Structure 1
């Protein structure tokens, strides 16, 4: 799922216009703090009939866009919760009812997350590699290398999630099953059987072992045929199925089995531990003094004023070029230092330090993965008041056997959980966009418990309730109450804040001073999309 063409298209449309500048200096009508504490946006309107990077359809993509000269973390948090997403300094919102591949904002409750079997495999694989240097090049982890999304125009951020800086997810956040999709019932049954087999195999069930030994040592004497005094030999797989069925059928507190159990060794099976390892326990590598490899994860703010970011810029940019050319088949001029800077280093977010416990502060960061002193992956993230938002992931293709897309996503989830210990509200991990009619983008639904944003009411709904609706229609309103609409809908256009000729004023004053045709339709469209709260707080630049 290459997004290179989409990325190129987006980068052209998202670039600032000639003569545009991000510095506005001192503005009239604002406190002495100046413009650096305010969001300043230029609304670019609707861009439709664009090529879709997900289904490759021509003219099927549509989204509204804004160029952000500056953006406070709170304003961006509120915009994300209304379906917006940034790619560099370009902020866009898919027109869900018209675009060919609707993109629903998805978030994970990081504090309640427990790794599933596929995620555990990736974590264990990394543990073994660091401890023993063991390398596994198999692709049987049940995970497909898929990026997370880095969006630009339509998707959200090709990040851990396909290339895309503009429209297609791009970093492998998590593997997608390569099997052909079956009906929901068939898929569930198949997965249950697979899970049962793997669990028994990993736990080393003594009952199963004894059964297998019985079958081996009770072979009839040569020439006499089967021993009719003993029960027929049965496959261990069938025994496990029967045992599982019995557990489901036996009423709670009733120890009497419904059917006669198979003849097995008198050795009783040990009960499995009730506790489940957390993602942090898997990440922690024991015996750190005798490791074959050492992995260090550094969080650096996206700023050339930061010495660590500045010193690693060249190696990070070279890694980005290598990744884009190898994984997304970009040409050198499409992924050089300039493009790298515009896409992943230029951020409109204004860094903020608040007295609420987040030691690193809020804003845009690069989470760098250093293996034995060499940078092998970089996860681009935004730390906001209520979440860690994944923007993009790029990595060294030589280390793809470590499933770095999935691994980095799990590390970012663990990082969110760490921040939540200091700031209780910062408890979500935003994975970008979930695109149900794009099979390669469904992997995000495997991170649970997750919620999707209703595109009409902007309420969060558990993904399990959304999936049946998306099976029926690619675009759906998730909120079941038809009377419940946008609580922050535009109610007073005259209170929209406008920046005109370096002066901040309400729209009621601006429209009287403006010369030329009325632009009320455009301003109203902008305010409707961002909501009344943001429209009154942010500054809409009008020339």
Structure 2
């Protein structure tokens, strides 16, 4: 564990396994997996998700889609199409009184328009493999330079490839409960206007969600609120293809730039302690306004404990005797000694044993000690056979509590992913290019 997160590098990842990790506060950046320690961090990262089937777009969100569609088709097309392809009274009434998100996001796409006439602009939205192309890099370069104000010298093709292309997620397909086939893996949701690639939504398509990794766009469409458009298109994808949930990435309550994520509702927040989903409602937001770390499980527990204490005090017959006041001086040494201890603690924070960190939601050491970790697979050579941890000469000689050490390191990983996933991992010791 380094700083306020636990890190792991992956070379191959199944979509179903990654779905399980998302629901345990994990997230990926390229091939780097990380699980934040919300309790110790000054800016805790919370996992949130939207139930796409219950999503009700706000007036502002509906206007964003409608204005963009109007820009794409143009007034001339709208008038001529109404004359050549008139809607029935029922069709017109339905459109005026009911906002269907899936229908509306596709409304201005070129392959959905009735022709003739021709629209003012040609909009094409496609789901493509997350491969590198110069066309995609041009959008990335413009976005990082114009929106994020990055130094042009630091915007590189290798950085783009490592961050947003060639994901470790394996591409697969699955049959959903509705009988439809769904794509799984990492994809680029590409938006082209008049043949030019103007925006890319980097997505992880998982068994139960559309996970938004990154959204980037060209400065030429800034006036159309591309961030909002991208979110609405992704939610529509979750509805249309049956993924169910939309994960907009980590939410940091103290970061104003992330407040837009909670504009889409109903949302749920993952309790970092209990690893269960709670409604992201006014009660939770008010708590986050007061303190950085919030766990509804701990709030409930604290409330129950306070009630129990109040009841105990009310029923207490004996009086509490006075006790001497504690000395204000440190019991052992001076204030200078405390300062030295603080400095040591800061140094230790850079690399501490996970089980000493009080990270919420991990499997406790007492449970890890009882696990049989001897059969975890190991990959030693690129094309050789798989081994097991018990095949290592030093494995039996080490104790889980001997940190730093291999067994202690494996114990950390198992604690963060959960014992139920232990038999699904393979520790890769083969050097990989980054």
- Same fold per TM (> 0.5)? yes
Equivalent of 2:254 in 437, 442, 446: 437
Equivalent of 2:11 in 69, 74, 97: 69
Two-structure CA RMSD over aligned residues (Å): 2.8
TM-score between both structures, scaled by the size of structure 1: 0.57
Distance 2:208 2:41 in 1: 28
Equivalent of 2:73 in 110, 131, 136: 131
Matched, 1:412 2:290: no
Matched, 1:337 2:157: yes
Matched, 1:462 2:283: no
Matched, 1:111 2:57: no
- Helix, strand or coil: the match of 1:406? helix
Partner of 2:211: 389
In the alignment, structure 2 segments of 5+ residues that lack a partner are 77-94, 303-359
**Structure 1 position 519, deviation (Å):** 2.5
1:197-208 matches, within 5 Å, as none
Query: Contact conserved, 2:378 with 2:389, CA < 8 A, in 1?
Result: no
Partner of 1:354: 174
Query: Contact conserved, 1:497 with 1:504, CA < 8 A, in 2?
Result: no
**Structure 1 position 469, deviation (Å):** 2.0
- The structure-2 alpha-carbon separation of the partners of 1:498 and 1:467, relative to structure 1 and needing over 3 Å to count, comes to same
Distance 1:511 1:417 in 2: 52
Partner of 1:277: 99
Partner of 1:120: 62
TM-score between both structures, scaled by the size of structure 2: 0.71
Partner of 2:30: 88
Please identify, of 408-417 and 338-347, the stretch whose mean Cα deviation from structure 2 is larger. Answer: 338-347
Query: Contact conserved, 2:50 with 2:268, CA < 8 A, in 1?
Result: yes
Distance 1:429 1:535 in 2: 27
- Helix, strand or coil: the match of 1:362? strand
**Structure 1 position 355, deviation (Å):** 4.0
Deviations 1:233-288 (A, max 9, x none): xxxxxxxxxxxxxxxxxxxxxxxxxxxxxxxxxxxxxxxx9954121243243764
**Structure 1 position 358, deviation (Å):** 5.5
Report runs of 4+ in structure 1 exceeding 6 Å deviation. Answer: 514-517
1:138-537 matches, within 5 Å, as 276-285=98-107, 288-289=114-115, 290=117, 291-303=119-131, 313-356=133-176, 359=181, 361-420=183-242, 426-464=243-281, 465-479=283-297, 481-482=300-301, 491=368, 492-495=370-373, 497-499=376-378, 501-502=380-381, 504=386, 507-508=389-390, 510=392, 513=395, 518-537=405-424
**Structure 1 position 124, deviation (Å):** 1.4
- Helix, strand or coil: the match of 1:353? strand
Query: Contact conserved, 2:49 with 2:247, CA < 8 A, in 1?
Result: yes
Whose helix proportion is higher, 1 or 2? 2
Q: How many residues align?
A: 334
Equivalent of 2:2 in 24, 38, 47: 47
- The structure-2 alpha-carbon separation of the partners of 1:73 and 1:451, relative to structure 1 and needing over 3 Å to count, comes to same
Structure with bigger RCO (C-alpha 8 Å, 6+ apart) = 1
Distance 2:429 2:387 in 1: 11
**Structure 1 position 108, deviation (Å):** 0.3
Query: Contact conserved, 2:272 with 2:361, CA < 8 A, in 1?
Result: no
